[in-house]
Amino acid sequence: MITKDSFSKINTNKKEEKKSSYLSRLIFSMVIKILIITILFLASLIYIKQSNENKKKYEQVVYNNSLSFAKIYNVYKNYLGDVIPFKNSFEDNTKLVSEEKIIYDEIKKENNGYMLSVASNYSIFAIKSGIVIKKGKKDNYKTMITIQDKNGLNITYGCLDDVNVELYDYVEKGEVLGICDKQLYLIFEKDNKYLSYEEYL
């Protein structure tokens, strides 16, 4: 005859086995991911060391920002799961994130993008989450950064001062990117086509 005590012990044992099994799978998954990343890193080093020509090709691909982070992200997620399997445990609560949309008085087409009239010392928030794939200065547009989301959409923010992000940083939607003064330049681009602003602002 099964008593309440023995029944609760059986349930407790089953729960512990499930936890142990989940932990084992999680550790195994992490070890596999670390091994794959290590192999890719070592393969890159070996490739670079082979010749100066290989080194130049590698620099062109990596440092000229021609990598598609959207494709890398999707391949990684499809075959290895989340980039960080327990990412909720490591959330950075110090980041300033806002749900506020960009407020502008006027918008007009300029080159491949749009120039927005905004307030003085206006804080600019990321429209989409993604990785900073470009950062640099351009004469008429001050500091410009391009963020690529996981679907391959590139959003370029120009006319920025006091930029808070660096190249290859991961940026959350609503995170403060920097400050602009009266003007903000935006470009929306995907699959080598320039897009209209309506869907994103």
**In the predicted model, is pLDDT for residue 90 greater than 50?**
no
**In the predicted model, is pLDDT for residue 70 greater than 60?**
yes
**In the predicted model, is pLDDT for residue 47 greater than 60?**
yes
Domain housing 142: 106-194
Provide CB contacts within 8 A for 178, sequence distance 6+. 123, 124, 143, 145, 157, 160, 161, 162, 163, 164, 165
Query: What pTM was computed for the model?
Result: 0.62
Cα dihedral sign for 139, 159, 150, 94? positive
Give the model confidence (pLDDT) of 120-170 as tens digits.
Answer: 999 999 999 989 989 999 888 999 999 999 888 999 999 998 898 998 888
Q: Residue 39 falls within a domain, yes or no?
A: yes
Residue 113, domain CATH? 2.70.70.10
Q: Residue 70 falls within a domain, yes or no?
A: no
Give the pLDDT mean for 6-20.
Answer: 56
Higher pLDDT, 86 or 196: 196
Q: Residue 185 falls within a domain, yes or no?
A: yes
The pLDDT value recorded for residue 63 is 57
Residue that is last in its domain, among 37, 64, 91: 64
Q: Residue 148 falls within a domain, yes or no?
A: yes
Q: Residue 86 falls within a domain, yes or no?
A: no
**Is the domain of 172 the same as that of 116?**
yes
The total of structural domains in the chain comes to: 2
Q: Residue 82 falls within a domain, yes or no?
A: no
The pLDDT value recorded for residue 35 is 85
| Residue 7 banded pLDDT, cuts 50, 70, 90 | very low
**In the predicted model, is pLDDT for residue 11 greater than 80?**
no
